[in-house]
Amino acid sequence: MSTDSELRERAARVIPGGMWGHLDASKLPEGYPQFFSRGEGGHVWDANGQRYVDLMCSWGPIVLGHHDPAVDAAARRQADLGDTLNGPAPVLVELAERLVDRIPAADWAMLQKNGTDATTACVTIARAATGRGTILMARGSYHGAAPWCTPVPTGTTEADKANQLRFEYNDVASLQAAADAAGGDLAAILVTAFKHDNVVDQEMPTPEFAAAARAICDRKGAALIVDDVRAGFRIHPGGTWETVGVRPDLSAWSKAIANGHTLAAVTGKDALREAASRVFVTGSFWFSSVAMAAAVATLDELERRDVVGHIASLGQRLRDGLAERARGANVGLRQSGPVAMPLFLFDGDADFAMGRAFCTATLAEGAFLHPRHNMFLCAAHTEADIDAVLAAAEAGFEAVKTLR
């Protein structure tokens, strides 16, 4: 078994910059591993054999825990039959029915492979339905890494982001102003399930904001698209905007939908069904069956075990425990967003020195946290895991105090 540093040396030779994308550990504080050897329940092991309580959950996909027995069994049963065939297996129908059954705003479903595939398909369907081009998007929201939505413009053109207008999340006046600017060309409002932008405090959507988005779309005949890729299945089993009583016309899902198997989905209302049947969206593996079988099992386990309730309870325990320890250390710690997807940022930490010091110290104590991105809880986490994180956090706060 190679060590993390040996693997990084080899990777530097055959991968540009040594790694790409959001899992590039060179962008994380000192001490973070790049390579991982295995996962089990709510824990991961890096390539050096170090074990961590894992509060990243693979950046969202792991919602039940690594090697969940029900999901593993369902995936294996389907794999024994076949995965990528000349068409879908019967499990596609089962999964689409399950999504329509569980998600109040879903009259139909389509499947993809990336969250970006799902958000892109939503935009395409909205444009097909309305015959219009303009999409409203919140400034700073992440909807994927395709040229039309990537936060890093390197290698993209101005045309890639044509037909987009911006508003501020949770700001009804700015949303209305953007809708006015779109005039008769408004195809859709595309909005993340809650505000989970990188490096800033999270915000749940306000009921007023959600209602305004719904009303604008209704008045203008545009589609309301909720991007539930990151939050889906962790905040509310039927979709995050159920918490504010607003139902989108189209929803994008991925990450947690199949407990780590590669899958994304679009669900929509009947009014969008005909347009959805006219667009051409596809991929070589969009009909692969193993991920679908995993998704059916994941959705069933989420319901059977009340995972939303479990991770909310653990998230509250974590939030309360961190707040208490921050007070004790006399450190200003801001915790924001839903407790099951925690984000913490330190007051007066513009250069992230405190966040880095905190996370390097907790990492050494066996807690895998992130200094500036929201984290994720899963069903396999226990109160003992949270308490272990809190114990590690005491070392983290000590490290922060030494910076002053």
Report the site for a copy of itself in 363-402 (rule: CB under 8 A).
Answer: 368
The arrangement of strands across the sheet holding 134-138 comes to 108-112, 264-268, 250-253, 223-227, 186-192, 134-138, 164-167
Q: State in angstroms the smallest separation of the CB of 97 from a copy of itself.
A: 5
Alpha helices, DSSP H only, in 30-102?
69-81, 91-102
Residue numbers 1-40 binding a copy of itself by CB under 8 A = 1-2, 7, 10-11, 13-17, 19-23, 25, 33-40
96 belongs to the binding site for a copy of itself (CB under 8 A): yes
Count the site residues for a copy of itself by CB under 8 A. Answer: 111
Nearer to a copy of itself, 331 or 375 (CB): 375
Residue 172 or 260: the one with the smaller Cβ distance to a copy of itself is 260
Helix residue ranges per DSSP H, 183-306 = 207-220, 273-278, 289-304
Map residue 264 onto helix, strand or coil: strand
Are the C-beta atoms of residues 41 and 65 closer than 8 Å to each other? yes
Of 46 and 349, nearer to a copy of itself (C-beta) is: 46
**Binding a copy of itself by CB under 8 A: which of 180, 218, 274, 347?**
274
| Residue 191 in tokens | 């909005």
Nearer CB in complex with a copy of itself: 281/364: 281
Q: What is the chain's Cα-based Rg?
A: 21
Residues 35-74, mask of contacts with a copy of itself (x by CB under 8 A): xxxxxx---x--x------x-x-xxxxx---xx----x--
Helix or strand run (H / E) with residue 251: strand 250-253
User: CA nearest 222: which of 122, 121, 129?
Assistant: 129
Instruction: Work out whether 113 is an interface residue with a copy of itself (CB under 8 A).
Output: yes
Among 70, 146, 211, 395, binds a copy of itself (CB under 8 A): 146
Residues 233-272 that bind a copy of itself (CB under 8 A): 254-255, 260-262, 268
Q: Does 147 bind a copy of itself (CB under 8 A)?
A: yes
> Which of residues 69, 73, 81, 383 is near a copy of itself by CB under 8 A?
81
Binding span for a copy of itself by CB under 8 A among 159-167, 316-324, 326-334, 359-367: 159-167
Q: Show the beta-strand stretches assigned E in 4-105.
A: 36-40, 43-46, 51-54
Map residue 135 onto helix, strand or coil.
strand
Residues 305-364 that bind a copy of itself (CB under 8 A): none
Told to check if 288 binds a copy of itself by CB under 8 A, we report: yes
For residue 255, give the DSSP letter: G
C-alpha span between 144 and 150 (Å, rounded): 6
